[in-house]
Amino acid sequence: MELTDWLRRAGGLAHRTQLEDAGYLRTALCRAIDSGGVVRIRAGWLATPEASGSRRAEAIRAGGRLTCASAAQELGLWTFPETRLHLSVPAHSGRSDPVAIRHWSRGPVPVHPHALVEPAENLLAHAADCLPFEQSLVIWESAVRTGTVSLAVIAGLPLRSRRAKALLEACSELSDSGLESVFVSRLRRAGIPVRQQVPLLGHRVDALVGDRLVCQLDGFAHHRSAADRRRDLDHDRRLALAGYTVLRFDYARIMFAWQIVEQHVRLAFAQTAARR
């Protein structure tokens, strides 16, 4: 196999020793660099041209690996928008970078010296001590929901910080999306009683506030087809006929107009309580 093909299969980035372990001689590395098929991005590190501008390549150039929100994005977890690079760096690293956030603490799980992304357990530990509570919780619950790491595994980690312990207590396996994590977390912080993924009339609802207020959430990719949308609206009507109040909120409203969402939930909750 050509060296460039091997490198692409490996994700476009590799340390020189990894290529040598795969059987490629230094002369082959030099030829690939001279031909332009491979780019040297740091001493000992090689990349395909298309991978040389990636976040992982940026981490290599900075002498670290992706962690926290950046690692979560790399693993496909739900995150708040984040343009800054979060890097796990050696304890002796003292370089400052105006566009990167550096994490000097070690995570609970050992990492291969040539790994470019911290394991999920480590990125969760870093997120707990770096990001606001809500943003950390979204990542934690996304990791659990996608099966990246189980809640039982997280509970068994030596996470000693107060923030990590608070996240572990709040983290749920029930959230069906990052948007649901945000919605439920904000309601609970506001003192509004809410339960998640409650089965009602043959389908689970995203959130049940009190006993009669149903809140349904529509994310960017919530509806895959017109049939899905029709099914959801049919369920809303059946809930209304059964005496439930149904409120439906989309991503933009929850993320950018939360005061309106909370106000509507409070008013509807008060009205349903008054009807009992």
The CATH number of the domain holding residue 232 is 3.40.960.10
For the chain, the average pLDDT equals 92
Q: Are residues 245 and 161 in the same domain?
A: no
220 pLDDT band, cuts 50/70/90, is: low
Q: How far is CA 143 from CA 65, 121, 124, 133, 181, in A?
A: 19, 9, 9, 15, 12
276 pLDDT band, cuts 50/70/90, is: low
Q: How far is CA 251 from CA 36, 37, 257, in A?
A: 44, 43, 10
257 pLDDT band, cuts 50/70/90, is: very high
Say what the pTM is.
Answer: 0.91
Q: Are residues 83 and 150 in the same domain?
A: yes
Q: Are residues 217 and 258 in the same domain?
A: yes
Q: Are residues 157 and 209 in the same domain?
A: no
pLDDT for the residue 250: 95
205 pLDDT band, cuts 50/70/90, is: very high
Q: Are residues 28 and 123 in the same domain?
A: no
Reply yes or no on whether the pLDDT at 97 is more than 70: no
Reply yes or no on whether the pLDDT at 263 is more than 90: yes
Given a contact cutoff of 8 angstroms between Cβ atoms, the answer to whether 49 and 29 are in contact is: no
pLDDT in tens, 10-36: 999 999 999 999 998 888 888 889 989
Q: Are residues 79 and 157 in the same domain?
A: yes
Reply yes or no on whether the pLDDT at 95 is more than 70: no
Reply yes or no on whether the pLDDT at 92 is more than 80: no
Q: Are residues 146 and 216 in the same domain?
A: no
Instruction: Work out the percent of the chain whose per-residue pLDDT is above 70.
Output: 95
In a domain, 69, yes or no: yes
Q: Are residues 139 and 210 in the same domain?
A: no
- Give me the mean pLDDT over the 83-104 stretch: 82
Domain that holds residue 121: 63-170
pLDDT for the residue 71: 98
Q: Are residues 150 and 74 in the same domain?
A: yes
56 pLDDT band, cuts 50/70/90, is: very high
Q: How far is CA 199 from CA 16, 115, 203, 236, in A?
A: 54, 43, 5, 13
pLDDT for the residue 55: 95
Going by C-beta distance under 8 Å and a sequence separation of 6 or more, which residues neighbour residue 193? 209, 210
